[in-house]
Chains A and B, each alone.
Chain A
């Protein structure tokens, strides 16, 4: 699971090098979404703060 953003971004880099601009941007967006989902799953502890 935690590997998804890295491998997704790697594929996006590979697509950049191969000259595929739009597919690279789509894979970037999906990878960022995976990253934010993983962040939501890990940010469970309440913060001991008064804001």
Chain B
């Protein structure tokens, strides 16, 4: 695998993570399904994994960048498995909407596993780490993918500020705390 092809794959991975985050946002805004604290931390895990991909896109593939991707997926996976275990026993109740019959936290656990697996598989291709005679540069489209992921991180930060204010979030949020405070509720 050439460094250039690796950059392209990483940009596509980053776009996939951005789509996952956008889908969560769509559910939040259109169906008023407010994310719980653990849900927010899972989103943060996806954004963290995106940093590793973005580093590969901008600076070229390096093992340390893949480590960032895998460690973030591990951290996000911890949160999603914990939430899945909270609801795994029938009758314990669930949180939020289901997508194709599976709740978002269970989807997140599967996707974090796929991210870690993908990172480990990509690490197998040593040629991508070989020094280039002429240092490669990211394409404009790849940089747009990084910018989109950055915008998604910022949007999540703003949304979380509206939902939780400056403190901790409610365990089962039903409204945007900061907006309620501003309206005097």
- A-side residues, CB < 8 A to B, are 1-3, 5-7, 9-10, 12-14, 16-17, 19, 21, 24-25, 28, 31-32, 35-36, 38-39, 41-43, 45, 47-49
Contact = CB atoms under 8 A, between A and B. Distances in A.
Contacts, number: 112
A35 B89 contact: no
B166 A21 contact: no
| SS of B interface (majority) | helix
Interface in B41-74: 41, 43-45, 47-48, 50-51, 54-55, 58-59, 64, 68, 71-72
A13 B47 CA distance: 9
Interface of B: 37-38, 40-41, 43-45, 47-48, 50-51, 54-55, 58-59, 64, 68, 71-72, 75, 78-79, 82, 85-86, 88-89, 92, 143, 146-147, 149-150, 153-154, 156-157, 160-161, 164, 166-169, 171
